[in-house]
Structure formats: C-alpha cells, structure tokens
Amino acid sequence: MIKKELLVDLHMHTTHSDGELTPTELVKEAKKAELDIIAVTDHDTTEGIDEAKEAGEKLSVRIIPGIEISSHTENFETHMLGLGMNYEIKDFQDGLTNLRGARIQRIEKICNQLKKLGLKVEPEEVLGEAEGLSVGRPHVARVLLKKGYVNSVNQAFRRYLKYGAVAYVESQDFSPKQAINLIKCAGGVPVLSHPGLIGDDTIIPQIVGDGLMGLEVFHRYDKQSRCDEYLKIAKRYKLFITGGSDFHTLGDSKETAAQLGDITCPYEYFVEIEKNFSKV
Ligand code: AMP
Ligand code: ZN
Ligand code: FE
Ligand code: FE
C-alpha cells in the first residue's frame, strides 16, 4: 500500500479567539477532513492549545502550538503567525496578556464610535459574545447581527468595522518587529500571515529585515497566481513556506477564509520549518 502524504494545515482559530468551534470540535473536524498535522493559531492567545493536544492524542492528529499576533506598520495591518513555540515561557504569556488588554480597550473605542452613529452596543455585550480571552471585531459584528443592525457579519465589517470604515479603530500599537521578537522569545518561528491580504508587497523585505523567518504562501486568495507570486518571494528571501485554511467556522462565507482541508501546506515545506521549532 502506498502511504499517503501527510496533510498539514498551519492556520486555524477556535472559540478562544474568534473561531466558532472549541479546540476539541476543531480537532474532530480536522480528522474528518483527513488532516494529519494542524497548528492552532488563535489571535493573541494560546489558551486553546492544551485542549487541542488532548483531543489530538485521542484522534491521532498532531497539534503544533501556534499563535496569530496582530500588528501594523504605518499604513497596513499585518498579522504574524508564530509556530512551534514553547508557549509556557513567561515573557511570551505576559506579552500576550498586554495585547489582549489592548483588544478590550479597542472594543470600548469601537462601541463609542458606534454609539455616535446611533447603534447601541455596550462593551460588556461584546465581551459576553467572546467565549475566550481574546476579543475582536468579529464579536462586535455578531452583536450587531443579533441586535438586527446588520444582516450578516460580513455586512457589519463592510459598513462599520473594516479598515477605513466609519467605526474602524486602529489595533494596538504593535509593530511586526515586536511581534517577531515576542514569538522568538518563546522559541517559535515567525511567519507573515496572508501577505496577499496586506495590500503592499514592498513591506515584505522590510519585515524580513526585522527578523521574519517564514511566509504564508498558501492561503485562499482570489487567484491561484497569488500563491505562485508568494512562493517566488519566499524563495528569493530564503523564507520558510507555510500554508493554511485560516478556518474560523463551518459554512463560513468570508471571502478570505476557507474550510478545513481546502488549503494545506505541502509536507515537504512543513519538514523544513519544523526543524526550527522549539524543542521544549
Ligand atoms: P481583529 O482581530 O479584531 O482585528 O479582527 C480581525 C478578524 O476579523 C480576522 O481575523 C477575521 O477573522 C475577521 N474579519 C476580517 N475581515 C472580515 C470580513 N470582511 N468579514 C468577516 N470577518 C472578517
Ligand atoms: Zn480571526
Ligand atoms: Fe489573519
Ligand atoms: Fe487567522
């Protein structure tokens, strides 16, 4: 019998940030999608990883500890994946705690903006919508939807929450370099998330200069050719190559997300990046 190549997905979210499946449910769905190795990469929290590992042991799905840290340059929002950290390191967890504190402050500012527009959304309602420690704009969107202010989460983003929209508020002041350093302090490999959603490829060399080690080449872009472009860029700058679904929920209709199994990271690239994961 020919052994099938291992299927790897290095980007997904749980209820600990803005995903809608618990870590256990996520691992079960990953198994159904025949994935062998997955990285759990919640926004600014690693709270879901232990539960995912437990479920992964039962179902023979290998769990890579991951994170997706929000940061920005002067003009662009940049998300940084961290893979293979020893996530119990205190400095790393302290950094994440600060980032989540800034997320709560951001929600308060967004609610103020919405109030000015006549939409009554209290920060407490948004925090109540978040099941885990890491609250974000999708939770605001869900409250707007529940209250009937919008017809969909997508519409909430389009009208109010997306970059440049009326209730948009900048995320915490954290640069790509700071995100890279935080991931490295825990022995993880920093990988620039979905470069094709940033809007400017010229910032990639700049972030390489900050110590970037990998590029998320495979993501659900509108055109396959985008992946080819990023593959070339990754090779030019000698960056590790990764890919993942950025899964948030079943039946998700977001333009930028995919379902489990839709986008994977070729195993040959995983083997290379894995050599650099924290050994602890
Ligand atoms: P935040 O972490 O608060 O900055 O929110 C960013 C998250 O919002 C992303 O990771 C996506 O999950 C989600 N998101 C971004 N744009 C959209 C959109 N147009 N529709 C639905 N969800 C979105
Ligand atoms: Zn998200
Ligand atoms: Fe992201
Ligand atoms: Fe993501």
Give the pLDDT means over successive 10-residue stretches in the chain (280 positions). 86 97 98 98 98 98 98 93 98 98 97 98 98 97 98 96 94 94 98 95 97 97 92 98 96 72 97 92
Q: Which residues surround ligand 2, an ion (CB under 5 A)?
A: 18
Instruction: Using the atom order of ligand 1, give the atom closest to the CA of residue 77.
Output: 4
How many Å lie between the centroid of ligand 4 and the Cα of residue 43? Answer: 7
10 Å Cβ neighbour count for 260?
23
- Chain centre distance of CA 116: 30
The predicted pLDDT at position 178 comes to 98
* Ligand nearest to the Cα of 18, by number: 2
* Ligand nearest to the Cα of 134, by number: 1
Q: Is the CB of 153 under 6 A from ligand 1?
A: yes
Q: Is the CB of 159 under 6 A from ligand 1?
A: no
Q: Tokens at residue 148, please?
A: 């009937």
How many Å lie between the centroid of ligand 3 and the Cα of residue 68? Answer: 7
How many Å lie between the centroid of ligand 4 and the Cα of residue 11? Answer: 6
Q: Tokens at residue 159, please?
A: 């009208």
How many Å lie between the centroid of ligand 2 and the Cα of residue 153? Answer: 12
Within 13 Å and on the Cβ side, how many CA atoms surround 275?
A: 8
Q: Is the CB of 66 under 6 A from ligand 1?
A: no
* Ligand 1 pocket, mutate which of 14, 137, 157 (most atoms under 8 A from CB): 137
Q: Is the CB of 154 under 6 A from ligand 1?
A: yes
Instruction: Using the atom order of ligand 1, give the atom closest to the CA of residue 68.
Output: 10
The predicted pLDDT at position 276 comes to 97
Q: Quote the pTM value.
A: 0.96
* Ligand nearest to the Cα of 252, by number: 1
Q: Is the CB of 197 under 6 A from ligand 1?
A: no
How many Å lie between the centroid of ligand 1 and the Cα of residue 34? Answer: 27
Instruction: Using the atom order of ligand 1, give the atom closest to the CA of residue 248.
Output: 12
Q: Whose CA is nearest to atom 14 of ligand 1?
A: 138
Residue with tokens 């959304």: 121
Q: Is the dihedral of CA 111, 141, 10, 34 positive or negative?
A: positive
Q: Rg for the chain (alpha carbons), in Å?
A: 18
Q: Tokens at residue 143, please?
A: 């409250």
The predicted pLDDT at position 12 comes to 98
pLDDT tens digits for 237-269?
999 999 999 999 998 665 556 899 999 999 999
pLDDT tens digits for 212-234?
999 999 999 888 899 999 999 99
The predicted pLDDT at position 279 comes to 78
Closest CA to 194 of 169, 164, 226: 226
Q: Is the CB of 18 under 6 A from ligand 1?
A: yes
How many Å lie between the centroid of ligand 1 and the Cα of residue 96? Answer: 19
